[in-house]
Amino acid sequence: KNEVEQSPQNLTAQEGEFITINCSYSVGISALHWLQQHPGGGIVSLFMLSSGKKKHGRLIATINIQEKHSSLHITASHPRDSAVYICAVGPDKLIFGTGTRLQVFP
Amino acid sequence: DGGITQSPKYLFRKEGQNVTLSCEQNLNHDAMYWYRQDPGQGLRLIYYSQIVNDFQKGDIAEGYSVSREKKESFPLTVTSAQKNPTAFYLCASSKTGFYGYTFGSGTRLTVV
């Protein structure tokens, strides 16, 4: 069993839908990261969480340390949100999930 | 703007040749990392360095070598000993103790 599990692996949505991507982990962590990888391959860091909830624009990330679970929500999804979303946990050396591929259609 | 520069974006090499991937950062980050990404798998750590002139092996270091002669630079050499070098390679950096990561745009290496 992987130390970081993401679900679903693939997700398709219509523009405007509310999206939720889940991440569960089995190791002790000091921080959890949500990353976005576009088809070109470069990765952008969306959030780093150690507790509670963070919001940036249409993106919301939450973490429950006791349950070892985090969710990434996208409100009012748009085709430009289409990407692979990756959860990673650490302190310094990150352990990565395999990613959730999101496609948003107009 | 500060960031991480990886070059080249695409690289083709013949089997048996060593190849060096460049990673430069101007973020004044102490720690730098090399990850490998294969289809359907999470990123895996190859090598990391937390300070100049020091580096440690990650989970899949065999067939790779690194150096950290300057804080800004952490080049990765894929040697002929790496049995399956074709992959996407990502460099990252972080300010130790802060945990904030910055990633490069990656280098896609194809060995033919």
More confident residue, B30 or B101: B30
**Residues in chain B, overall count:** 112
What does the DSSP 8-state code read for residue B73?
B
pLDDT for res A105: 97
Confidence band of B39 (pLDDT split at 50, 70, 90): confident
Alpha-carbon distances, residue A105 vs A57, A101, A102 (angstroms): 20, 13, 10
Better-scored residue on pLDDT, B41 or B61: B61
- At B44 the three-state DSSP class reads strand
**B85-97 pLDDT, tens per residue?**
999 999 999 887 5
**Contact residues on chain A for B35, CB-CB shorter than 8 A:** 96
**pLDDT beyond 70 at A42:** yes
**Cβ <8 Å between A40 and B50:** no
pLDDT of residue B97: 59
Stretch B94-109: mean pLDDT: 81
Q: What is the pLDDT of residues A4-38, one digit of tens each?
A: 999 999 999 999 999 999 999 998 888 899 999 98
Three-class secondary structure of residue B64 per DSSP:
strand
B48 in contact with A, Cβ within 8 Å:
yes
B100 interfaces chain A, CB cutoff of 8 Å: yes
pLDDT tens, position by position, B60-72: 999 999 999 999 9
Radius of gyration of chain B (CA): 13
Q: Is A43 on the interface with B (CB under 8 A)?
A: yes
